[in-house]
Amino acid sequence: MLAAERWHKIVEIVNERGSIRVTELSELCGVTEETIRRDLDRLEAEGKLMRSHGGAVCLKDNQPELSYTIREATNLTEKQRIAREAARLVEPNDRIILDASSTAWCMAAILPDIPLTVLTNSIRVALELSSKEKIQVISTGGIVSSRSLSFVGPLAERSLQQYHVDKAFISCRGIHPERGISDSNELQGRIKQQMIAIADRVILLADFSKFGVQAFAQVADWEQIDTVVTDEQMDRMFTENIRELIIAR
């Protein structure tokens, strides 16, 4: 593969997925990670993408919502680790929210069959929990988003307003130290805003690729987030910055 072909392929992948790691690009393109880093530096200088911690992110302001199959496969190992840590925060008889993120689905898959009430707008999460007899599952209803397999829109938002929960577990498309939490579109952003509004404690689930990213729709400021569960690939300085923002609330 010629260098120009590789650059074109990298931009296509980043625009399709929204973000990707250097290690994965190295495997996909069949070159060293150092070569990929130089490629990303060049492409960033040309205004075709933006470097992030350990990879690159799309520059499009209004990124389309990724299909569930793409999100499910992206950074899956990190999402599973985050899900395991988040599941430890759930206690018997908790009332919790799980959003329609792939990380929340990973969490639903490993939740023990204990007395819980789970409110969700995710079709996948509801189906995953349906076989666990001690868990009561409440689905919001609403307009079906075929890309995320979730319920969105006014009906879903009004449904959430009827409840109060102990903990909300949500993910997002972008996390920025100054601009807070953001998502790919307004419909998903409004649902997550409502989830945050009815929860005593908000736990943000985010792998390293989300950090430093500003997505299209604003979801929340740092003062609305209580806990962040991330993976070990997250840059230490960025992690400390986020910790200070949460402590300073």
Count of CB atoms situated within 10 Å of the CB of 128: 22
150 and 211 in a single domain? The answer is: yes
And the tokens for 28?
A: 């996909």
CB 7 within 8 A of CB 39: yes
Q: Does 41 reside within a domain?
A: yes
Residues 154-207 have pLDDT tens digits of 899 999 999 999 999 999 988 888 889 999 888 889 999 999 999 999 999 988
Establish if 62 belongs to a structural domain. Answer: no
Structure tokens belonging to residue 39: 């490629």
- Do both 26 and 145 map to the same domain? no
Does residue 125 lie within any of the structural domains? Answer: yes
Count the domains in the chain. Answer: 2
Q: Give the domain extent around 123.
A: 68-247
Q: Rounded to whole angstroms, how far apart are CA atoms 221 and 174?
A: 12
Mean pLDDT of the chain: 86
Q: pLDDT digits over 3-60, tens only?
A: 888 999 999 888 877 778 898 899 999 999 999 999 998 888 777 887 776 788 776 5
Place of tokens 């945050």: 196
CATH number, residue 133: 3.40.50.1360
Q: Rounded to 5, what percent of the chain is helix, strand, coil?
A: 45, 25, 35
Q: Establish if 128 belongs to a structural domain.
A: yes
Q: Which of 210, 177, 182, 168 has its CA nearest to residue 75?
A: 210
Predicted TM-score of the model (pTM):
0.71
Residue with token string 């868990």: 135
Within-domain flag for 181: yes
pLDDT single digits (tens) 90-135: 999 999 999 999 999 999 999 999 999 999 999 999 999 999 999 9
